[in-house]
Amino acid sequence: MSAKIISGVEIAKAIREELTVVVTELKDKHNVVPGLVTILVGENPASVSYVTAKSKTAKALGIYSEQVDLPADTSEEKLLALIDQYNNDEKINGILVQLPLPKHINEAKVLYAIDPNKDVDGFHPVNVGKMVLGEQCFLPCTPHGILEMLERSGVETSGKEVVVLGRSNIVGKPIANLMLQKRPSGNATVTLCHTRTKDTDFHTRRADIIIAAVGVPNLVKANQVKDGVVIIDVGVNRIGMSESGKAILAGDVDFNEVKEKASFITPVPGGVGPMTITMLMKNTVQAAKQAAGLI
């Protein structure tokens, strides 16, 4: 069997079309224009490309967008002052500080400084807490995108064995939590594996759905999964440079091997990555509606 490819590009496009309708309606009926600011500290090439894509996508949807690029030696104090400024800026509904931050800046302190009502990344502890409790909140973009991909591809998750690889705050921990909840793309039995897990293969071999978010290229091989597994590959690993100077990307899963055994698989590039960007737009539109008292 060869797997059905879940195209993040296609699903993201469909969601963006839905959002364009909502943004137009917000403007025409309520004179509301959602606003997003992206803040990047330093020049990590991957971060530069993601942040640029975020502000470009926002503009294409009719979202007002500001992009702030700061030098790598920007002080924590200066960054906190900038966040405070945007917390108080009525044009801005969403504030995104791209991670990772340079080592001299305390990441938690920065994320805590963002107004939870503008925290379109869903990283503030207020939103993390609400997420765990199953309350209405901003869901972190990558996990949110994964839920949408599963739902829109018709992948049944209820009662299934889900194995998450990786325990990061931005993917592993939240997606594991969301998928065990009573919600669409939820109701699963979830196992989270990490670097100290004794026998990861034991878990991956019995998984109905594997979410790989570890950042190791081609880690998951065909002999570690069962026939018919559903693979969501979150890894976007830069493994080299093409002659034209473009990054060569690989997922955490050995796509060529595993696609022969899986029932569904997401590619890299063109899988989860584009969904992450699109869910940021969805969260920003939600933030604007909330700020306008429309939800």
- Name the residues that contact ligand L34, by CB under 6 A: 46, 49-50, 53, 96-99, 121, 141-142, 236, 247, 268-271, 273-274, 276-277
Report, in Å, the least distance between residue 99 CB and ligand L34.
4
Is 54 annotated in the active site? yes
280 sits in which H/E element: helix 272-291
Which residue of the set 119, 121, 208, 233 is catalytic? 121
b/e for 173-202, b at 16 or more Cβ within 10 A?
A: bbbbbbbbbeeebbebebbbbeeeeeebee
Report, in Å, the least distance between residue 44 CB and ligand L34.
9
Do 145 and 8 contact (CB within 8 A), yes or no? yes
Closer to ligand L34 at the Cβ: 174 or 273? 273
Q: Which residue is nearest to ligand L34 (CB)?
A: 273
Beta bridge partners of 190: 162
Is 181 annotated in the active site? no
Closer to ligand L34 at the Cβ: 47 or 189? 47
Report, in Å, the least distance between residue 188 CB and ligand L34.
23
d(CA 195, CA 127): 27
Nearest residue to 206 (alpha-carbon basis) of 188, 186, 187, 229: 229
288 sits in which H/E element: helix 272-291
Report, in Å, the least distance between residue 249 CB and ligand L34.
6
Closer to ligand L34 at the Cβ: 139 or 188? 139
Nearest residue to 287 (alpha-carbon basis) of 145, 114, 157, 165: 114
Closer to ligand L34 at the Cβ: 35 or 94? 94
d(CA 295, CA 290): 5
Closer to ligand L34 at the Cβ: 141 or 285? 141
Report, in Å, the least distance between residue 20 CB and ligand L34.
19
Neighbours of 24 (CB within 10 A): 12
Is 201 annotated in the active site? no
Which residue of the set 29, 59, 91, 98 is catalytic? 98
Which residue of the set 4, 27, 28, 54 is catalytic? 54
Q: State the catalytic residues.
A: 54, 98, 121
